[in-house]
């Protein structure tokens, strides 16, 4: 059983159920109108009998053990706020993908006692997305790792880091120079890894 928190249109649940990646799912959204979109899509594909539809605020939707929790398609601050009730996740794996402020989300997950298993960067329709898989447990991470990412994977990691560098270069806050240094070093490390693999 998996839970899709903030499901909105229900496409993720539809994909996971129709491809038998998940047997059953909790499909949840804080908005009844949004959840009705999910319900219609799952019913259209004959999957509604495998989904428990719940109107709830964030992790309050979880009232039984789950193997995985997905929170995606929102900003990092919003996901971090949802995760204040992280105890509801139990021992489930947590998969998050924030459109903004992924570094803030990593920091909060670390504070809440999560360790990171993998972080994958993908590009779709000209945008970068990071997908972070984590679980409850302790690991030590530096501020740099929490900012840049922990063991980023994917074919477009260098391009993603360069994009983040360009965005950071346009900012003018107290930490910008430190962040630019970290990102530049990560880009150089990625470029070194690519040349070693040739």
Q: Per residue in 140-153, pLDDT tens?
A: 999 999 999 988 99
Residue 76 above 50 pLDDT?
A: yes
The predicted model gives 63-71 an average pLDDT of 97
pLDDT in the model for residue 198: 46
Instruction: Kindly report the CATH number assigned to the domain that includes residue 116.
Output: 3.40.50.150
Question: Shortest CA distance to 2 belongs to which of 47, 51, 43?
Answer: 51
Checking if the pLDDT of 45 tops 90, the result is yes
Asked whether residue 77 is domain-assigned, the answer is: yes
Q: Burial letters for 9-41: b for 16+ Cβ neighbours within 10 Å, e otherwise?
A: ebebbbebbeeeebeebbbbbbeeebbebbbeb
Instruction: Give the list of residues 6+ apart from residue 61 with CB closer than 8 angstroms, or none.
Output: 3, 5, 26, 28, 54
pLDDT in tens, 83-106: 999 999 999 999 999 999 999 999
Instruction: Give the Cα separation of 156 and 144 in Å (integer).
Output: 20
Q: Is residue 50 part of a domain?
A: yes
Which pLDDT score is estimated for 172? Answer: 78
Q: Do the domain assignments include residue 165? A: no
193 in any annotated domain:
no
Q: Do residues 93 and 135 lie in contact, with contact meaning Cβ atoms separated by under 8 Å? A: yes
The whole-number pLDDT of residue 151 equals: 83
Backbone angles phi, psi at 111, to 5 degrees: -60, -35
DSSP state of 14: H
Q: How many domains does the chain have?
A: 1
pLDDT bracket for residue 195 (50, 70, 90): low
User: What is the distance of C-alpha 150 from the center of its chain?
Assistant: 13
Residue 166 located in a structural domain: no
DSSP-based three-state secondary structure for 63: coil
pLDDT of 11 higher than 70 = yes
Domain presence at residue 17: yes
CA 6 – CA 29 distance, rounded (Å):
4
Average pLDDT, the chain: 94
- Strand, coil or helix: 106: helix
Whole-Å CA distances, 59 to 26, 90, 176: 11, 11, 34
- The answer, as to whether pTM is greater than 0.75, is yes
Residue 197 inside a domain? The answer is no
Query: Domain range for residue 40?
Result: 2-156
Res. 80 pLDDT band, cuts 50 70 90: very high
DSSP state string for 117-152: EEEEEEEETTEEEEEEEEEE------HHHHHH-SSE
Tell me which of 69 and 172 has the higher pLDDT: 69
């Amino acid at each position: 059983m998996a839970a899709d928190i903030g499901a909105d249109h229900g496409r993720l649940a539809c994909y996971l159920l129709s491809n038998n990646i998940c047997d059953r799912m909790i499909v949840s959204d804080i908005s009844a109108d949004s959840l009705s979109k999910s319900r219609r899509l799952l019913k259209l594909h004959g999957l509604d009998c495998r989904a428990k539809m719940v109107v709830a605020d964030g992790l309050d939707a979880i009232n039984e053990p789950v193997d995985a929790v997905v929170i995606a398609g929102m900003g990092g601050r919003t996901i971090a706020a949802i995760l204040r009730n992280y105890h509801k996740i139990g021992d489930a794996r947590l998969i998050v993908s924030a459109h903004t402020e992924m570094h803030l989300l990593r920091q909060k997950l670390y504070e809440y006692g999560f360790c990171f298993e993998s972080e994958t960067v993908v590009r779709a329709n000209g945008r970068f997305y990071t997908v972070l898989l984590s679980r409850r447990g302790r690991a030590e991470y530096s501020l740099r790792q929490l900012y840049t990412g922990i063991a980023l994977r994917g074919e477009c990691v260098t391009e993603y880091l360069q994009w983040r560098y360009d965005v950071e270069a346009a900012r003018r806050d107290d930490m910008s120079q430190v962040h630019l240094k970290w990102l530049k070093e990560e880009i150089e490390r990625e470029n070194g890894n690519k040349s070693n693999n040739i």
